[in-house]
Amino acid sequence: MALSYFPNAARVGSPQPTVESSPKQHLNEGVQEAYVEHKNRLLQALDSTKSILGDLRMFNKDAWVVRYPQLRSQPAASEPAGSSRRKSMRRSLSFPDDPTFEAEVIVSPAKAGLTRSVTLATIPDKEEPETPSHEEEGDRLISPEEASDFHVFRLDLKLGPHGSSASPAALVAQLEKSSIANLLDDRILNAVNHLDKLRSRIEDKSSKVLVTGDLNAGKSTFVNALLGREIMPVDQQPCTTAFCEVHDATENDGKEELHILKEGVPYSVTDESTFTRASLADLDSIVSENENDSQVLKVYLRDPRDPQASLLSNGIVDISLIDAPGLNRDNTHTTRVFARQEEIDVVVFVVSAENHFTLSAKEFLMNASHEKAYLFIVVNKYEQIRDKAKCRRLVLEQIKQLSPRTYEDAEDLVHFVDSQQALHENTPSFSNLESALRSFVLVKRSKSKLAPASTYLTKLLSDVDLLVGANAIVAQTEFDRAQRDLQRVRPVLEKMKNGRETLEESLESVEEHGASRTRMRTKELLSDAVERVGQGKLGVDLPTITLPSYPGLLGIWDYVREVRRALLSSLDAAVKLAEDEARVVTTEAVNKISQLGDEHLPEGVERSRRVFMPEAMFSARADKKGNRKSRRTSGTVVAGGMYGLGIGLAQRPDMLETTFFDLFDVHHQFWVHFGEGKSEEHDDMAVSTLGYASVGLGALTMVGGKTLGARGLFEGVVRIWDLLENETARRWAAPVIGAVTIGLAAYFIIELPSTVPRTVGRRIKASLVKEGEEHGEDASFVGAHAARVSRETRKVLRLASWDLKERFRAAMDERGREVHGAEEMERRAKKALDWFHEVERRAGEVRESVVLVNAA
């Protein structure tokens, strides 16, 4: 395509509409000073905001996991439908990483000099202020609808209803709090990086104007019309795939040429190694041949027009006019345009009057509105529309939704033109566009150069307000909960600490009292039983144990054996009775321990699930191989027996053995009749008496070997023989034998049935006493059983006491951890609360600077 200037001199040199006067007149010293002041104030605001974000990131990592809030509409039920009352809207506050948290809050959109507040909805609706007036509404930096969502910090978590795969519950299973905090940290870091870009743009004295729009909207034609020359390639097919940056030739030593930038190398106009030179005539072919490549081209032009009519050669600031690829060509080029707009001061968006705003166009404008409240809109090909009024109305309605501030200033920022027609002749609409664009870029630099940064800061600070306000509510909630927990747990912990020693002393007292009581009672029962047995009575009176009936002389031996068995069984029954009473005493003591647990254990602590079974006391245990064994393996009486045998007296063979002395206890009779208190008058008398007794005993041994036994028979024969060798004995033998025979007959018939139980009882008692004398009192029948029963009681009570002590210790440790955790939460929440309030204060101070810039 041949390059040519417009042949129509009137187009180039004709008088141009001006805005009040020349730009130089607008840029008087007062305006310039105000601009510099606002610029410096904005730079300070950027630095302060960057500092806030840096502190927020550090706080998020070190002291508090900053939560990402979500606000959902929750209109008050008492307000009528369509009511516009209270722009401070009620919202339901929740967090995606904690679906259980939900609170009703009031969100107040930020106004000039005020923060966007998020407070708990504790004030009744009737006390809420009325809807602000139109003037007050105009002071708002962010609309009420926008106040309920993030702008810069927005995370696309795509939460769905409960039960769906994208529900909060399902999301929490995939994202922990730290994960969402990391996502939020990335957003904050991106904001910090963008603040650096904004600072560079503000400090850069030049202005970058990006011309973009949908395919075939006429962007290149518009640029050509704006330059007054056919420079950019124009075709019905999409042809612009490169970013063509048009600069004034004075920046290139006045030479018109094309620089093709090398990818990945920082460009410098004075360093030819960073670009490749080409002629302007080659621009068309370069763009066509590299249609699929992502190129950046620098185009340097001379504009012979008067500085008052030229945008490039304006004599005020350096301007770069960037012709960008169409938005909806493909995703790659669209993404590049989205990224490039962050470096741009002014966006000139070209939209076709035939197609209006496409989805790509709307998405781009929404993204650009994060920082650029004012967009320069060019509705191209307008002259080709028949119903121009309808087209204008529809386009303005869409602009109102996409960029409200642009809509408010539509007279200066929205232009309906035909760029193709403006290439060949002057048109009033295009002349007005050029004047408005020059005024917007050159004269109203506070709006075109500073306002994007101011708008971005406003929305960023609004996000900070929402973030810290919601987290302050969380911190306040946790602080209140920590204080409630401390008020609840601290007294319990102090009570447990003070009562611990009392509890241990009480348990020791219960254990000692129970063991002593069972020991003394066992001794009392068994001692009484032994005394009764020594008197020939049963140790205890039970219907199941009775003395046998006398069977007669022929059954005397069996009678003696059964008497012995009955008396021994009564002693075993006395042992069983002592064990039963020990069970009762132990049960009472266990219940007392349970009462101590109810008294000293705090509420909410699970009580012991152990069930005391008294019948399990004194029972044999099984070893690992399943063999039954007694509870003790020492040589004491257990379960009614001795020496670890685990059997009763009535089952011991040594105790059941029956002898002649069970019929006639010679030793007892001797000490009764001849012991202390009976003097021996003559030795012969003694010999004679003993001799008579011996003769009688010898005769008795002759009464059947079955009755008396072989041993007794032999002893009788020996004694008779000795007596017969004595002459005196031989002389008295007949009378003595007769007397003894008569006495024994009377004894067997009359006295024997009543004397056998006493004789057997005395021998049993003497046997038990003898065992005690040989092994010590603790090994005696009474002492051993008393110690065993007491030991069993102590074992049960000690186990119950240990269980209670462990539960008490665990409960006190748990309360200690609760107090420590609550104190830690209180400390962290208080620190976070103070920090969030400080951030709100700092953000408010920064906002004042931003408001002053917006008002400029």
* Residue range 274-294, pLDDT digits in tens: 999 999 888 888 887 766 566
Residue 756 makes CB contacts below 8 A (sequence gap 6+) with: 556, 559, 560, 563, 662, 663
Identify the residue whose tokens are 């129509």.
8
Q: What is the mean pLDDT of residues 478-488?
A: 93
Whether the pLDDT of residue 781 is over 80: the answer is yes
Tell me, what amino acid is at 454? Answer: S
CB 714 within 8 A of CB 758: no
CA dist., res. 630 & res. 644, Å (int) = 7
Handedness of CA 37, 41, 47, 50 (dihedral sign): negative
Lowest-pLDDT range, 247-251, 318-322, 814-818?
318-322
Q: Rg of the chain's alpha carbons, rounded to an integer?
A: 57
Tally of CA atoms within 13 A in the half-sphere of 291 that contains its CB: 9
Task: Please measure the distance between the N-terminal and C-terminal CA atoms of the chain and give it in whole angstroms.
Answer: 45
Output the CA angle 551-557-559, nearest 5 degrees.
Answer: 45
CB 273 within 8 A of CB 318: no
Whether the pLDDT of residue 798 is over 80: the answer is yes
**What letter does residue 138 receive in the DSSP assignment?**
H
Q: How many CB atoms lie within 10 A of CB 26?
A: 18
Lowest-pLDDT range, 67-71, 455-459, 611-615?
67-71
Q: What is the mean pLDDT of residues 817-835?
A: 93
Tell me what percent of the residues of the chain surpass a pLDDT of 70.
Answer: 70
Closest CA to 313 of 249, 221, 401, 391: 249
Q: How many CB atoms lie within 10 A of CB 813?
A: 12
CA dist., res. 850 & res. 856, Å (int) = 10
Q: What is the pLDDT of residue 53?
A: 93
Whether the pLDDT of residue 400 is over 60: the answer is yes
Whether the pLDDT of residue 414 is over 90: the answer is yes
Closest CA to 69 of 190, 165, 154, 160: 154
What confidence tens digit (pLDDT) does each residue in 25-46 have? 445 566 678 888 888 888 999 9
Q: What sections of 403-450 are H helices per DSSP?
A: 404-408, 410-413, 419-422, 428-438, 445
CA dist., res. 716 & res. 736, Å (int) = 15
Closest CA to 275 of 267, 285, 287: 267
Q: What is the mean pLDDT of residues 382-389?
A: 90
What confidence tens digit (pLDDT) does each residue in 328-348 have? 665 555 555 655 666 788 899
Q: What is the mean pLDDT of residues 184-199?
A: 90
Q: What is the pLDDT of residue 655?
A: 76
Whether the pLDDT of residue 119 is over 90: the answer is no
Phi, psi of 233 (to 5 degrees): -60, 135
The kind and range of the H/E element at 244 are strand 243-248
What confidence tens digit (pLDDT) does each residue in 539-592 have? 888 888 888 888 877 788 888 888 888 889 899 999 999 999 999 999 999 999
Structure-block tokens of residue 840: 């709100």
CA dist., res. 630 & res. 661, Å (int) = 35
Residue 590 burial (C-beta neighbours within 10 Å; 0-12, 13-18, 19+): buried
pTM, two decimals, is: 0.65
Q: What is the pLDDT of residue 62?
A: 79
CA dist., res. 166 & res. 170, Å (int) = 6
Whether the pLDDT of residue 418 is over 80: the answer is yes
The kind and range of the H/E element at 65 are none
Q: What is the pLDDT of residue 801?
A: 94
Structure-block tokens of residue 182: 């990391």
Q: Which domains are assigned to the chain?
A: 206-426 (3.40.50.300)
Q: What is the mean pLDDT of residues 475-484?
A: 93
Lowest-pLDDT range, 6-15, 207-216, 782-791?
6-15
What confidence tens digit (pLDDT) does each residue in 652-704 have? 777 777 776 666 665 555 555 455 544 433 333 333 333 334 434 444 443 43
What confidence tens digit (pLDDT) does each residue in 726-770 have? 666 666 666 767 776 776 666 556 667 778 888 888 888 888 888
CB 379 within 8 A of CB 433: no
Whether the pLDDT of residue 133 is over 60: the answer is no
Decide which of 425 and 519 is more confident. 519
Residue 760 makes CB contacts below 8 A (sequence gap 6+) with: 536, 560, 563, 564, 567, 662
Beta bridge partners of 245: 298, 322
How far, CA to CA in Å, does 260 sit from each of 268, 269, 295, 697?
12, 11, 8, 148
Decide which of 172 and 648 is more confident. 648
Q: What mean pLDDT is reported for the chain?
A: 76
Closest CA to 195 of 446, 460, 448: 460
How far, CA to CA in Å, does 420 sit from each of 225, 281, 423, 676, 818?
7, 21, 5, 156, 77
Q: What is the pLDDT of residue 165?
A: 44
Q: How many CB atoms lie within 10 A of CB 69?
A: 22
Lowest-pLDDT range, 181-195, 464-478, 507-521, 687-701?
687-701
